[in-house]
Amino acid sequence: MRHAVALREELAPLLRALERGLERGETSPHDRADVHVINLNHQSATSRGRSFLDHALDHFLNHQSAWNVCKSCKASDDCPIYANRNELACSPALERKNRPHREALVSLFRVAEQGGYVLTFRETLVLVAYLVTGGLSCADVEKKHRSRRPEAALYPYGLLPLLFSPDLTTDQEKLMRVLARFQRLDPGRVALRSVDERLHRELEATDVSLGG
């Protein structure tokens, strides 16, 4: 800290660049081409191609060796953590089966971003952890698995319930504000009959033309 204070003159251009970035949206001061400001809050987490969300999911889920211990767990058949991982991992063995699931999840986040929501990289990492574990530990899963109705006890921690009907604390809601947006997109809760009927007619017409 003392060393940084002693470099006030040298660091002044960085401070000015940050201030201009906040005030005017500039990424590089006209008088300092060697200084460039990258605001991670303004970078898309779901950009086309290999997005940050994809990279985060791959980092946590694709390494089979890290998940091998789950195979010997007595709760593995009912474990939502293991099920969520197996639905979203895109390792070579799971790529073909899970790619549609992964693309659907990324598309859901992309819709939120396109609607004006700023999905920060920090929130993305929190969401990845949440959508895999639901906030449960292995000990929590084992305890619920020993209950009288393990499937009912563990169902709320599956991927779809976590996305569209999460049971969050106030602190969790603040950390993952985008989940409130997802509930508006849930067709099970928010349905427009006029839209649904039009899509149904279009699908029927497509089926008829393909069949003919």
Q: pLDDT of 49-103, one tens digit each? A: 788 999 999 999 999 889 999 989 999 999 999 999 999 999 888 999 999 999 9
Mean pLDDT of the chain: 83
Q: Is the pTM of this model over 0.85?
A: no
Q: Decide: 154 and 141 in contact? Cβ < 8 Å.
A: yes
Characterise 39 by phi-psi region: left (phi > 0), alpha (psi -120 to 50), beta (else). Answer: beta
Mean pLDDT, range 29-56, rounded to an integer: 78
Q: How confident is the model at residue 15 (pLDDT cuts 50, 70, 90)?
A: confident
Give 165-176 pLDDT, tens digit per residue: 888 889 988 889
Q: Decide: 39 and 21 in contact? Cβ < 8 Å.
A: yes
Q: Decide: 114 and 34 in contact? Cβ < 8 Å.
A: no
